[in-house]
Every structure is written in structure tokens, then in C-alpha cells.
Amino acid sequence: MEANESGFEIIQEQGAWLIRMWWPTGAITGGPQRITVEAAGDSAARDVARGISTTVLRRLDLAAAMKLAESAPELQQGVQEAAGKVEEAGSSAGLLLANGGVSEIYLAMLAATYKTMADMGAPAPVPWLARLIGRRPETVKDHLKRARREGYLTTVAGKAGGELTEKATETLSRVIKSDDDQD
């Protein structure tokens, strides 16, 4: 495995070929985002001349590569740091809800936290978010629907997450600015 500033590369050798699989830094939530196949340096010219066969591609072991990538200490540290930030944001959303009800800032914070969880590849973001804010998952789903309806979060058909809207980022930046003014 090789790491660089933007991701991890796992290399497998299949006969005369090197298969390079690349994942971006962050949680491993699926297969690689890039695969390249090239002749290994010590390959026989006759094997390379035959080209890449379907056998080479079938022998590609994505599961083993993913396990290796997931076990990288650098990756684990990054995932733990991201999870810690999500926990903090979710707790903040819970405090906003407890102190101000379902407000603009709560909906924006909820949407931002949910988006981050989905982007991390969290397998069940709603139950995790519900635990963080101290509400039932059904309540969180209703609040997320409201956040979408009121224009804080877009919808991605069939997938968790979405994109924060300009309204959400403006709401969050106003709060951050007012916190900076108080310091």
C-alpha cells in the first residue's frame, strides 16, 4: 500500500500485470475510485503483447484491497478525527434543539451534520444522529424532511445525504460570525 496526500493506492500483481487501485483519503465506503492496469516491470514481452485478458480482471481481489486500505493507520486516524467532529456537531445540534426548538440554526446544523455523516459513508446516519441529539430516529427524519422543505438541504434520490443549500451555509456563517463578534 502506498499513501500520498490525496489518497491510498493498493497494488496487486496478476500474472504480467500490476493493478493499481486508488481510494481518496477518508472512510472506505466502497470500491476504488480509480483502477489502472499496467505491465509489471519484469513481465515477459510475449505476455504483455497478448494484452490484458478478462482472466486478469476477474482475478482482481477488491475485497482484499479494501480490507488492506481500511486497516491503514493513517486512514483510521482520519476516520476517528472525522467521527469526533461529527459527534461534536451532532451534540451542538441537540443543544440548539433543546434551547431553541426547531429553529433556522438547528435545521441548518442538522442538515450539515447529516450531510457530513452521509459523505463519510456512515451506514445508518439517522439513528446515529438521533442518538447525538437525544431524539427518536422518526423525529430526526421529520426534522430532516422539514430542513429539505424549508430549503436547507437538497435531495438525492435514493441516497442518504444531499447538498447544503446557500440558505444553510448563510445561516451557519451568521452564527459563526456572531460567535466571533462575542469573543
**68-100 pLDDT, tens digit each:** 776 665 555 555 666 778 888 888 888 999 999
Q: At 12, is the secondary structure helix, strand, or coil? A: strand
Average pLDDT over the chain, rounded to an integer: 83
Task: Say whether pLDDT at 29 is over 90.
Answer: no
Percent over 70 (pLDDT), the chain: 83
170 exposure class (CB count in 10 Å sphere: 0-12, 13-18, 19+): exposed
Q: What is the pTM of this model?
A: 0.61
Residues 30-58: what's their mean pLDDT?
88
**111, 125 contact by CB (below 8 A):** no
Q: At 171, is the secondary structure helix, strand, or coil? A: helix
What is the distance between the alpha carbons of residues 130 and 142, in angstroms, rounded to a whole number? 11
Residues 96-108: what's their mean pLDDT?
92
The set of cell numbers assigned to 173 is 456563517
CB atoms within 10 A of CB 143: 22
What is the distance between the alpha carbons of residues 158 and 137, in angstroms, rounded to a whole number? 18
> Residue 129: its pLDDT value, please?
92
> Residue 180: its pLDDT value, please?
61
